[in-house]
């Protein structure tokens, strides 16, 4: 079956030019099909987050990063263009790894991007938008009575869903998610996964994850990176059941073994470290 | 044989342990003392100043002194109003000139400058912050005073020698700006990058990110930097003493000479120290400074806690 | 497109503000160096010559008294203050005190840190009057030490706070006592501690308000611990408005000496901080 390609990279290379040069991505060609959820996996330090951030020019805000090659959104370059970066970032949204509320109320967090772009007619129009996107991420029922309270008072899991709503509210064509569940406890992570599951038929989602299980559960397509190079990309089923490359095979196998006996402790750790699901985050003193 | 060596070792170790524990105990007394020193010093200062202010407060009404414009210690007239008004003028004017610049420069250093340029600019700010205030006073006498006296004041239709409230405010703005800059840069740089990424990620421009997200998140820190800067101008002594003209009168224009509370101490302490009631009056000025600065400090702390709790990131 | 124009204008604005502040800094340093350098080049010996008998009127002799006074007052004051500051910072950071007590002490330190130097001057003078002594080198040392104490404590406290917790844990893990552990923490934070002490020294050497009424404002060579003395900032303060051009030029020359000393101290603190950084975990290895 032929899939419409929403986003693709063309020989994309990223170098960190700090004290010494580090080639984080070495010429990657990868395609992200429309209205599918693509998971980027690979061992830590393999360039997953680097790839994700170069997809919507977030490296622009760091001084010591060199990007070469190109990223094409619906066939048009996002680097070699007259369109300003903020406009590109509106079309390619980004949700960071750490749940990050803007220092605004819950309502204003969702309305932030919409207001900036002026994409609404009236106050009631904006109210409707906020409500519909909060519903979309299954957060509306939990927060409808306290829209004006600071977003920071929500639990980390709720904040992460709020971040999703905030990004969706500007109606991006593509949504980039950087390990959005890794900072959450298992229960909140599950809710965020459910949200992503329900969104993936409507949006092109690119998600970085360190968990094979999550990729297997959620993704339609899998991209496997190793040391800054693309090893294999395929649809999820073929990727896991019939890996083409030796490296993929050993990674999938190694991980399956490691995860089956590591999973238990991992989950316990996560539970011990993060906040219980629906408790507000304690204020910093 | 072996056993005795071992027991010798053990003895030596327990000897050593005894000595170490003794050092531990003695040092803990000393360190505890050092911890209490800060509190003790502050209390001693406040109590001494209060005690020495009592003779004045016993004899004259506080309200009357704070609202009287007549300052003439040799006639036992202690009206603090001119100095209070002068201090408020200077503090307000300096902050008006210094704050916007300080915030802009802090934004430049934290959000715009990169690499070497950033290092150079911030070390320039450090140098500016470390220059002794007496040198600011000297340079101002050479540069600012002639400029204000010959060009600026005549241009706005005031006649002035160049010494006066405006000159002091301008120079104090220069003195506190680097101080406010470094505190503001600290609070901006403490913000996590995710905050910038989140805002940029929904398509905000850099300016929008700075204005609606970063300044808001760093707001408590910047606000307390401004309050601390205000306190600093309030208590500044050397620059005002060199540049204000030293006349205890109600200032009638921005370019008028005047007096601030600290300069009152400087100009009158020398000669009038021998008269107990004058001495008491000047010590009372010191007390007022402590109280006001304490108030600002406390305010800054409170604001920081309150706002941070409300708008955490 | 409007928002992009705004954004560009703002970029110009922050750069202009920065250029202004940097320009002012260059102006202040430049004027001091040029005017002071000119006065000093005319007769470099004034730095090493004691003042003459009619010094304040005619500027005969030089200002060795103020140079020595500054060294004799700020040197000992820095040592006293350093010992107190490091001790207080250790007490605040280590396991000697409860968190609540640390908070309280910190609050008092913040207030002391923000207290205007003139208040310390008035305080010490009040003490001088109360004990019936007269202004002297000794009370200058006391006043400057009090002034430096909160500054140095703040720097040291910050440095200790940034030392990694693993150092503390490792030291305890080896069976070290609290004191031995604290010494290790100080060592790990040494670059910051040393930089803080030098900055405290620089602040002390530049301050006039604390010593104006306490050191004696003398115009003669310092004769002893309990004799009046003066410092460079006091000299500049007193002589910059003199009617005699020669006396005034001494103030310019003194400001040259002072600013060079302060700049050298800042430079030294950065240099030493870099050099000691190799003791700090994660620091530079050289």
The pTM (predicted TM-score) of the whole model is 0.84
Q: To the nearest whole angstrom, how far is the Cα of B306 from the nearest Cα of chain A?
A: 10
Tell me the C-alpha to C-alpha distance, in Å, between residue B181 and each of A138, B43, B94, C183, C253: 43, 31, 14, 33, 30
B32 and B181 fall within a common domain: no
Q: What is the pLDDT of residues A202-258, one digit of tens each?
A: 889 999 988 888 888 888 989 988 888 888 888 888 888 888 888 888 887 776 554
B95 and B197 fall within a common domain: yes
Q: What is the pLDDT of residues A149-204, one digit of tens each?
A: 888 888 888 988 899 899 888 888 899 988 888 888 888 888 888 888 888 888 89
B136 and B30 fall within a common domain: no
Looking at B43, B59, B75, the residue that finishes a domain is B59
- pLDDT (tens, 9 = 90+) of chain C, 286 residues, equals 588 888 899 999 999 999 999 999 999 999 999 999 999 988 888 888 888 888 887 778 889 999 999 999 999 999 999 999 999 999 887 777 778 888 888 888 988 988 999 999 999 998 988 888 888 999 999 999 999 999 999 999 988 888 777 777 777 777 777 888 888 888 888 888 888 899 899 999 999 999 988 988 888 888 888 998 999 999 999 998 888 888 899 999 999 999 999 999 988 888 877 666 555 544 433 3
DSSP 8-class letter at B74 = G
Q: Which chains touch C (3 or more CB pairs under 8 A)?
A: A, B
B139 and B242 fall within a common domain: yes
Q: Which chains touch B (3 or more CB pairs under 8 A)?
A: A, C
Tell me the CATH number at B79.
1.10.3720.10
Beta bridge partners of A87: none
Residue with tokens 């693993």: C166
**CA triple B35-B39-B44, angle to 5 deg:** 135
Q: To the nearest whole angstrom, how far is the Cα of A283 from the nearest Cα of chain B?
A: 6
Across chain C, mean pLDDT equals 87
Q: Are B203 and A91 an interchain contact pair (Cβ–Cβ within 8 Å)?
A: yes
B54 and B159 fall within a common domain: no
Residue with tokens 């300096």: B94
Q: Best residue in C85, C109, C119, C212 to probe B by mutation, most B CBs within 10 Å? A: C119
B47 and B177 fall within a common domain: no
Give the residue extent of every domain in chain C: 44-279
Looking at B32, B59, B86, the residue that finishes a domain is B59
Of the candidates B124, B206, B262, the beta carbon closest to that of C118 is on B262
* Cα-to-chain-centroid distance, residue B258: 21
Q: To the nearest whole angstrom, how far is the Cα of C49 from the nearest Cα of chain B?
A: 22
Chain A: residues touching B (Cβ < 8 Å): 53, 56, 58, 61, 63-64, 84-91, 93-98, 100-104, 112-113, 116-117, 150, 152, 163, 166-167, 169-170, 176, 281, 283-285
B125 and B46 fall within a common domain: no
Looking at B33, B59, B85, the residue that finishes a domain is B59
B32 touches chain C (CB under 8 A): yes
What residue numbers bound the domain in which B172 lies?
A: 66-310
Q: Best residue in B198, B218, B223, B311 to probe A by mutation, most A CBs within 10 Å? A: B198
Residue with tokens 């420069």: B105
Contact between B233 and B261 (Cβ < 8 Å): no
Q: To the nearest whole angstrom, how far is the Cα of C42 from the nearest Cα of chain B?
A: 19
B302 touches chain C (CB under 8 A): no
C178 touches chain B (CB under 8 A): yes
Q: Are C17 and B108 an interchain contact pair (Cβ–Cβ within 8 Å)?
A: yes
C97 touches chain B (CB under 8 A): yes
Contact between A98 and B191 (Cβ < 8 Å): no
Q: Best residue in C3, C6, C10, C11 to probe A by mutation, most A CBs within 10 Å? A: C3
Return d(Cα A95, Cα A152) in angstroms, integer.
Answer: 16
Q: What is the pLDDT of residues B109-139, one digit of tens each?
A: 999 988 889 889 988 998 898 899 999 999 9
B162 touches chain C (CB under 8 A): no
Of the candidates B202, B305, B311, the beta carbon closest to that of A166 is on B202
Would you tell me which residues 242-271 of chain A have a C-beta closer than 8 angstroms to some C-beta of chain C? none
Nearest CA in chain B to C112: B42
Structural domains counted in chain B: 2
B12 and B81 fall within a common domain: no
Of the candidates B201, B311, B313, the beta carbon closest to that of A93 is on B201
Taken in order of first residue, the domains within chain A and their CATH numbers are 5-97+172-273 (3.40.50.300)
Contact between A37 and A192 (Cβ < 8 Å): no
Nearest CA in chain A to C4: A84
Tell me the C-alpha to C-alpha distance, in Å, between residue A46 and each of A40, A208, A228, C260: 10, 11, 5, 51
Q: Best residue in C36, C115, C231 to probe B by mutation, most B CBs within 10 Å? A: C115
Q: pLDDT-based confidence at A107, cuts 50/70/90? A: very high
Nearest CA in chain A to C8: A84
Q: pLDDT-based confidence at B271, cuts 50/70/90? A: low
- Residue B274 three-state SS: coil
Q: Which residues of chain C have a CB within 8 Å of the CB of A84?
A: 4
B205 and B116 fall within a common domain: yes
Q: Are B199 and A98 an interchain contact pair (Cβ–Cβ within 8 Å)?
A: no
B74 and B169 fall within a common domain: yes
Angle between helix B261-272 and B276-310 (nearest 10):
160
Q: Are B311 and A150 an interchain contact pair (Cβ–Cβ within 8 Å)?
A: yes
C243 touches chain A (CB under 8 A): no
Q: pLDDT-based confidence at A280, cuts 50/70/90? A: very low
- Residue A284 three-state SS: coil
The class level of CATH for C44-279 reads mainly alpha
B241 touches chain C (CB under 8 A): yes
B118 and B254 fall within a common domain: yes
DSSP 8-class letter at A8 = E
Q: Are C21 and B181 an interchain contact pair (Cβ–Cβ within 8 Å)?
A: yes
Return d(Cα C241, Cα C255) in angstroms, integer.
Answer: 14
pLDDT score at C183 = 84
Q: Best residue in C17, C228, C233 to probe B by mutation, most B CBs within 10 Å? A: C17
Residue with tokens 């007259």: A82
Angle between helix B219-235 and C99-114 (nearest 10):
50
Q: On the CB side of A211, how many CA atoms lie within 13 Å of its CA?
A: 19
ipTM for the complex? 0.90
Of the candidates B28, B177, B266, the beta carbon closest to that of C21 is on B177
B78 and B52 fall within a common domain: no
């Amino acid at each position: 079956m032929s899939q419409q390609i929403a986003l693709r990279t063309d020989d994309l290379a990223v170098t960190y030019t700090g004290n010494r040069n580090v080639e984080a991505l070495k010429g990657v060609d990868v395609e992200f099909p429309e209205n599918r959820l693509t998971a980027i996996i690979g061992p830590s330090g393999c360039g997953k987050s680097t790839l994700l951030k170069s997809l919507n020019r977030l490296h622009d805000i760091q001084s010591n990063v060199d990007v070469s090659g190109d990223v094409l959104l619906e066939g048009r370059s996002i680097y070699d263009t007259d369109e300003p970066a903020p406009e590109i970032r509106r079309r390619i949204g980004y949700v960071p790894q750490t749940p990050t509320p803007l220092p605004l109320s819950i309502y204003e967090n969702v309305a932030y991007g919409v207001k900036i772009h002026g994409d609404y007619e009236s106050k009631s129009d904006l109210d409707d938008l906020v409500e519909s996107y909060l519903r979309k991420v299954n957060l509306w029922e939990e927060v409808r009575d306290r829209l004006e309270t600071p977003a920071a008072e929500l639990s980390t899991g709720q904040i992460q869903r709020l971040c999703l709503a905030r990004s969706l509210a500007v109606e991006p064509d593509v949504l980039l998610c950087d390990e959005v569940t890794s900072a959450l406890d298992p229960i909140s992570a599950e809710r965020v996964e459910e949200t992503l599951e329900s969104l993936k038929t409507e949006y092109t989602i690119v998600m970085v994850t360190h968990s094979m299980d999550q990729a297997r559960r959620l993704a339609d397509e899998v991209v496997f990176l190793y040391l800054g190079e693309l090893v294999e990309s395929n649809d999820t089923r073929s990727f896991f059941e019939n890996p083409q490359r030796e490296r993929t095979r050993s990674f999938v196998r190694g991980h399956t073994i490691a995860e089956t006996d590591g999973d238990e402790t991992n989950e316990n750790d996560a539970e011990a470290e993060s906040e219980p699901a629906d408790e507000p985050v304690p204020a910093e003193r | 044989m072996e056993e005795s060596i071992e027991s010798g070792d053990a003895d030596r170790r327990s000897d050593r342990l005894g000595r170490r524990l003794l050092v531990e105990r003695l040092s803990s007394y000393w360190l505890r003392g050092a911890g209490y020193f800060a509190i003790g010093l502050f209390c001693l200062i406040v109590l001494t100043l209060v005690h020495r202010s009592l003779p004045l407060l016993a004899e004259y009404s506080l309200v009357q002194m704070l609202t009287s414009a007549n300052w003439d210690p040799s006639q036992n007239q202690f009206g603090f109003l001119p100095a209070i008004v002068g201090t408020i003028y200077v503090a307000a004017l300096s902050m008006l000139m210094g704050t916007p610049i300080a915030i802009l420069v802090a934004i430049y250093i934290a959000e715009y400058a990169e690499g070497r340029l950033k290092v150079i600019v911030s070390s320039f700010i450090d140098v500016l912050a470390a220059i002794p205030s007496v040198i600011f006073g000297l340079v101002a006498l050479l540069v600012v005073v002639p400029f204000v006296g010959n060009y600026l004041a005549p241009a706005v239709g005031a006649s002035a020698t160049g010494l006066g409230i405006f000159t002091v405010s301008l120079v104090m703005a220069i003195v506190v700006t680097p101080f406010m800059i470094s505190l503001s840069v600290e609070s901006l740089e403490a913000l996590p990058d995710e905050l910038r990424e989140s805002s940029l990620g929904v398509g905000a421009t850099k300016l929008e990110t700075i204005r609606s997200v970063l300044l808001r998140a760093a707001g408590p820190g910047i606000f307390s930097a401004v309050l601390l800067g205000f306190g600093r101008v309030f208590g500044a002594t050397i620059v005002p003493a060199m540049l204000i003209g030293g006349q205890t009168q109600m200032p009638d224009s921005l370019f008028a000479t005047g007096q601030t509370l600290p300069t009152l101490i400087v100009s009158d302490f020398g000669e009038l120290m021998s008269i107990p009631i004058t001495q008491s009056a000047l010590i009372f000025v010191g007390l007022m400074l402590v109280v006001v600065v304490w108030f600002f400090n406390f305010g800054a702390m409170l604001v920081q806690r309150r706002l941070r709790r409300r708008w955490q990131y | 497109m409007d928002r992009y124009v705004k954004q560009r204008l703002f970029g110009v604005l922050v750069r202009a503000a920065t250029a202004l502040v940097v320009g002012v800094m260059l102006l202040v340093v430049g004027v001091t160096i040029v005017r002071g350098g000119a006065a000093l080049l005319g007769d470099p010996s004034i730095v090493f010559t004691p003042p003459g008998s009619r010094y304040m009127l005619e500027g005969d002799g030089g200002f060795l008294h103020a140079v020595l006074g500054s060294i004799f007052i700020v040197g000992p004051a820095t040592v006293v203050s350093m010992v107190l500051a490091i001790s207080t910072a250790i007490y605040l950071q280590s396991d000697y005190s409860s968190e609540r007590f640390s908070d309280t002490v910190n609050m008092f330190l913040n207030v002391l840190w923000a207290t205007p130097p003139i208040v310390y001057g008035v305080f010490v003078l009040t003490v001088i009057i109360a004990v019936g002594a007269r202004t002297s080198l000794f009370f200058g040392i006391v006043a400057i030490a009090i002034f430096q104490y909160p500054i140095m404590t703040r720097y040291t406290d910050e440095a200790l706070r940034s030392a990694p917790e693993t150092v503390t844990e490792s030291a305890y893990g080896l069976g070290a006592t609290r004191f031995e552990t604290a010494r290790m923490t100080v060592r790990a934070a040494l670059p910051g501690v040393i930089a803080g002490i030098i900055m405290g020294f620089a602040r002390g050497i530049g301050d006039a308000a604390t010593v104006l009424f306490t050191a004696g404002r003398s115009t003669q060579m310092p004769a002893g611990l309990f004799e009046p003395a003066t410092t460079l900032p006091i000299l500049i303060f007193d002589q910059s408005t003199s009617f005699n051009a020669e006396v005034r030029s001494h103030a310019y020359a003194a400001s040259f000496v002072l600013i060079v000393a302060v700049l050298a101290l800042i430079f030294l603190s950065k240099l030493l901080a870099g050099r000691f950084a190799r003791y700090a975990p994660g620091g530079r290895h050289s």
